[in-house]
Amino acid sequence: MSGIFSSSLGKKLIMSITGLFLMLFLVVHLTTNLLLLVGDGSLYNRAAHALATIPLLRIVEFLLAFGFFFHIVYATIITLKNQRTRPIGYNKTASNRVTTWPSKNMYILGFAILAFLVLHLINFFLKLRFGEAPYVEGTEMHNTYLLVSSFFAKYWWYNLIYVISAVLLGLHLSHGFWSAFHTIGLNNNKWLNRLESFAYVYAVIVAVGFTIIPIYFWFAR
């Protein structure tokens, strides 16, 4: 194990493992959020309440924060190192028709997603945890549904930011998904194309899933 994380491959392993963890989180997050579209929102409220109160999940929350932290820190370290490897660039570059735009711009996409994340936390998480989010009448449970639905019904530009961010996230995942498997070595000739296809499916589900919500509440206002 000695010095594994100082090597370029070790650093990538951190990116890959944290990335896989974050992608798992996205599945949970999206599944819960889609409950917003089901019924009168009480189901969603209960789910949100459960996620916020079960003690074990609080630990997971810390893990999640760590995951984000390491994913971001190591992305920065790797990107800074990689940028030093070509002091004189090319005068002209052309597409090879294989390399995708997201794969070359993961850091930029990640940065945009980070900016969105901060905004997103301010909009909802901080309000729920520390702020004055509404409660479901007569209970100790937040009316998260009300918070979300009123938020998206109110500001069209927020909706736009959320939709764009979902698309950027999708692009990030379209590369990140298969890349994470590839980096930990779970890939071969046969699985290369399969994993890439899965990556697109996953990316589209996440992007579309998170896009539907603001749009739904805007038109339902």
Partner 1 sequence: MKLKLKIWRQKDAKSKGKFETYYLDSVSPEMSFLEMLDYLNSQLILKGEDPIAFEHDCREGICGSCGLYINGRPHGLKGKTTTCELHLRDFKDGCTIVVEPWRAASFPVIKDLMVDRHAFEKIMQAGGFISTNAGAAQDANAIPVAKPNADEAFDAASCIGCGACVAACKNSSAMLFIAAKVSQLALLPQGRIEAKERVKRMVAKMDELGFGGCTNTRACEAECPKGISISHIARLNREYYAAKFSD
CA dihedral 130, 24, 71, 214 (to 10 degrees): -50
Q: Give CA–CA dist 176/170, Å, rounded.
A: 9
Q: Which stretch binds partner 1 (CB under 8 A): 7-15, 41-49, 131-139, 165-173?
A: 7-15
Between residues 17 and 212, which has the closer beta carbon with respect to partner 1? 17
Q: Which stretch binds partner 1 (CB under 8 A): 10-18, 26-34, 57-65, 123-131?
A: 10-18
Q: Give CA–CA dist 32/70, Å, rounded.
A: 25
Residues touching partner 1: how many (CB under 8 A)? 44
- Report the nearest approach of partner 1 to the CB of residue 8 (Å): 4
In sequence order, what are the residues at sequence separation of 6 or more whose Cβ sits closer than 8 angstroms to the Cβ of residue 194? none
- Report the nearest approach of partner 1 to the CB of residue 161 (Å): 27
Residue ranges in 57-76 that form contacts with partner 1 under rule CB under 8 A: none
Are the CB atoms for 71 and 19 separated by under 8 Å? Answer: yes
- Report the nearest approach of partner 1 to the CB of residue 80 (Å): 11
* Residue 41 CA to its chain's centroid (Å): 23
Q: Is 108 in the site for partner 1 (CB under 8 A)?
A: no
Q: Give CA–CA dist 23/184, Å, rounded.
A: 15
Between residues 84 and 140, which has the closer beta carbon with respect to partner 1? 84
Query: Mapping DSSP to helix (H, G, I), strand (E, B) and coil, where does residue 90 land?
Result: coil
Q: Which stretch binds partner 1 (CB under 8 A): 5-13, 53-61, 65-73, 143-151?
A: 5-13
49: its two tokens: 């309440």
Question: Pattern 73-102, binding to partner 1, x per CB under 8 A?
Answer: -----x--xx-xxxxxxxxxxx-xxxxx--
Q: Which of 177, 172, 169 is nearest to 20 (CA)?
A: 177
Q: Is 22 in the site for partner 1 (CB under 8 A)?
A: no
Residue ranges in 183-212 that form contacts with partner 1 under rule CB under 8 A: 183-189, 192
Backbone conformation region of residue 188, classed left if phi is above 0, alpha if psi is from -120 to 50, else beta: beta
Among 25, 103, 128, 198, binds partner 1 (CB under 8 A): 103
Between residues 18 and 149, which has the closer beta carbon with respect to partner 1? 18
DSSP H helices in 84-188: 101-104, 106-120, 126-129, 144-154, 156-183
Judged by the rule CB under 8 A, the positions of this chain that interact with partner 1 are 1-2, 4, 7-13, 78, 81-82, 84-94, 96-100, 103-104, 106, 175, 178-179, 182-189, 192
